[in-house]
Amino acid sequence: MEKKKKPNIFLRILLLLFIVYISLTIAISTGYYEGKLNEKAVVTEEGMRQFEEDVKLGKDVDIKDYISDVKEDYASNTSKAGIKIAGGVEKFMTDGITKVIDVLKTLFTFVV
């Protein structure tokens, strides 16, 4: 009777962490960037409309009146936890790859 090969739990956890890291990185980078672009476009459109109205009415115009520097934080506990997890996975992967490369250097370095 053949013994069933047990799956390596470490490799499964590593694969799961890598998938979580990739998915969170993609979600954070695309969502954040799109939100910032949309926010800038809305502020620009509203500012342009107001500027045009004020010019038509002959008012004194100042650039500070049409640009708003509103920064809202939409981060939740879930997104903050995701960022922390992604950072931890990134550090783990970077350190792991560095150690593997160091081992390979040691193996293939010959003393002449």
**pTM score:** 0.34
DSSP 33: H
Residue-wise DSSP of the chain: -PPPPPP-HHHHHHHHHHHHHHHHHHHHHHHHHHHHHHHHHHHHHHHHHHHHHHHHHT----GGGT----------HHHHHHHHHHHHHHHHHHHHHHHHHHHHHHHH----
AA identity, residue 30: T
pLDDT in tens, 35-92: 766 766 666 777 778 888 888 888 887 777 766 666 666 778 888 888 888 888 888 8
